[in-house]
């Protein structure tokens, strides 16, 4: 049950040499800051400049913008996957997965992460993002299965589709002033159905 999760295919590992590791960390820290301030499409040159390094150093450690993004976000994604494991022990299967979906939205909303992960669907997406998606899918699978076994979710629902919808919520709520509440409202509607339940009083 404690099987370790493998690292992404090409996630650059932290170097061992002291100066190299310091540079690596500076780059990740600078990128984290700038991604937050100005979005994940900030010029890499600015990341390099804030880290006080040469541009070649960035490419030594990160083969692409995606690799840098993965290094910045991977820690948080991993934490989210661990949370999924913990939530398997929740009293209510439904509460377990809903709590997790809220956490997912909390991570992806802002920062443009949701849009990046959602857009990654297309074949052109990078290997690293596909790996992030897959890690989230894998983590959520037992949560969803448990909820299905409880009869609480549509049997045809696939994890990847559930997460895709969740990304849509994050993207949509991102612009709203009360993004938290807006996201919650959308999540509730998504789970309960945009159509009202068939009640005796409603026709059809």
Least gap, CB of 64 to DNA (angstroms): 5
65 binds, among its own copies, DNA, none (CB under 5 to 8 A by kind): DNA
From 63, 99, 160, 179, residue interacting with its own copies (rule: CB under 8 A):
160
Question: Which residues lie near DNA (CB under 7 A)?
Answer: 15-17, 19-20, 23-24, 41, 43-45, 52-57, 59-61, 64-65
Closest by Cα among 49, 67, 51, 71 to 59: 67
Binding mask 96-115 for its own copies (x = CB under 8 A): ----------------x--x
| CA–CA distance, 21 with 15 (Å, rounded to integer) | 5
Considering the rule CB under 8 A, would residue 165 count as an interface residue with its own copies? yes
What would the two tokens of residue 137 be?
């899918």
Question: CB atoms < 10 A from the CB of 189, how many?
Answer: 12
Considering the rule CB under 8 A, would residue 171 count as an interface residue with its own copies? yes
Closest by Cα among 108, 22, 23, 15 to 69: 108
Query: How distant, in Å, are the alpha carbons of 38, 82, 144 from that of 41?
Result: 8, 28, 33
75 binds, among DNA, its own copies, none (CB under 5 to 8 A by kind): none
């Amino acid at each position: 049950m404690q099987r370790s999760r493998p690292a992404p295919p090409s996630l650059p590992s932290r170097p061992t040499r002291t100066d190299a590791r310091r540079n690596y960390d500076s780059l990740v820290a600078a990128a984290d800051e700038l991604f937050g301030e100005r979005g994940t499409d900030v010029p890499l040159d600015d990341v390099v400049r804030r880290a006080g390094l040469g541009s070649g150093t960035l490419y030594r450690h990160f083969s692409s913008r995606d690799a840098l993004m993965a290094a910045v976000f991977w820690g948080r994604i991993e934490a989210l996957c661990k949370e999924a494991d913990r939530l398997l022990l929740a009293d209510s299967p439904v509460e377990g997965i809903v709590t997790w979906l809220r956490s997912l939205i909390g991570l992806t909303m802002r920062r443009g992460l949701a849009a990046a992960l959602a857009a990654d669907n297309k074949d052109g997406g990078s290997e690293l993002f596909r790996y992030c998606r897959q890690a989230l899918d894998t983590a959520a699978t037992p949560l969803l299965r448990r909820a299905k076994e409880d009869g609480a979710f549509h049997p045809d629902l696939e994890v990847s589709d559930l997460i895709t919808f969740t990304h849509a919520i994050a993207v949509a709520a991102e612009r709203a002033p009360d993004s938290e509440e807006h996201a919650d409202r959308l999540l509730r509607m998504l789970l309960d159905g945009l159509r009202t339940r068939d009640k005796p009083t409603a026709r059809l």
